[in-house]
Amino acid sequence: MCLILSNDNESKILIDVDQFIQSIYKNEINETLFKSILNDLVPKFKAVYKPHLKYSESVCVFKRMVCSLDEILLGTKSIDDLSNFELRYLWNNALYYFNDVNLELLGFKNQERKNRNGLEEYLTQLTKHYSKLLFIRIDLSIALEHQHEVGIERFNHYLRIFINRVQNQDTCFKDLQGYVWAIEQGEKKGYHSHVLLIYDGHKHQKDFGMAIQVGQCWTKITEGKGYVFTSNSPEYKERFNQKGILGIGMIYRNNPQQVQNAINAAMYLVNPEKDHQHLRVKVSGMRTFGKAQYVIDSRRGCNVSALPEFKGFKLCEDYS
């Protein structure tokens, strides 16, 4: 088994494998390129493949191709020596599973639509219940120079620790009223998570400062390997504000445009069109999306719509 070079990592290799299988389905490669890619990808794939992990259909197709290739070669010749018949055999085997790969992508898009609907309902409930909420968007990933050290198992471990602290409202997560997270896999970012944290606006006002504290938490959890990006910096917020789409920072219930902007911005976490960002590998039982539950009984205040109205009695605008 070959070692993974520092400019390679599990995520990038699996994305390359996925794109290779997709290029076969789209008939975008010729025989020469087919051999060249196999020569490059096969040893890298063998270095990162772990039988106990759950891989996407496209990666499973490539795994079958690698097994067939090993049987064909039997240690007596190289990939460059494959005959046209042997190449066509490998190619046709990949085509045989075309429907399985497509069905998985359709399933991903359908699940994203369900998540999207659930998230919209959840945020609508929160923004109706509280007079003001502090929305913080932060992306958690691994620095490029450390991505070869962090596979999906290690990344999932880091994220589980992070989410546990969010749920327990430890340190910088105190006074959270809601949260949402989603895991994705990108060509440059590798494994990463988009996180939306929603704080009580009466107790926290400085969103950028809070985002920095959350980022420091991620850096500590990942032992310095983590990378953090937040949209809550003054510069980014001003860009959004100039376009009239600012949906982070302090969001007031009595400003419908702000509320809608916040909901629209959050929808990026569950975008069915980002199928190129889906995970190609998962740990057993691993979730890729999560949000807090909206339970009215556990929240500050009461259900305004359920209050009886009395003559001469009016709720103030800041009631929550």
The verdict on 158 and 82 lying in the same domain is: no
Kindly state whether residue 185 falls inside one of the protein's structural domains. Answer: yes
The total of structural domains in the chain comes to 2
Backbone angles phi and psi of 127, in degrees to 5: -70, -20
- Percent of the chain whose predicted confidence (pLDDT) is above 90: 84
What pLDDT sits at residue 296? 56
Segment holding 109, helix H or strand E = helix 98-129
pLDDT at 234 over 60: yes
User: Residue 202 is part of which domain span?
Assistant: 113-294
Point out the domain boundary residue: 37, 66, 96. Answer: 96
Residue pLDDT, tens place only, 171-226: 999 999 999 999 999 999 999 999 999 999 999 999 999 999 999 999 999 999 99
Yes or no: say if 55 and 280 are a contact pair by the CB < 8 Å rule: yes
Point out the domain boundary residue: 70, 96, 122. Answer: 96
Kindly state whether residue 251 falls inside one of the protein's structural domains. Answer: yes
DSSP 124: H
Kindly state whether residue 1 falls inside one of the protein's structural domains. Answer: no
Segment holding 181, helix H or strand E = strand 176-186
Say what the pTM is: 0.87
The verdict on 169 and 284 lying in the same domain is: yes
Which amino acid does the sequence have at 239? Answer: R
Kindly state whether residue 305 falls inside one of the protein's structural domains. Answer: no
Residue pLDDT, tens place only, 6-25: 468 999 999 999 999 999 99
What pLDDT sits at residue 5? 41
Q: What is the mean pLDDT of residues 147-164?
A: 97
Residue pLDDT, tens place only, 268-296: 998 877 768 899 999 999 999 999 986 65
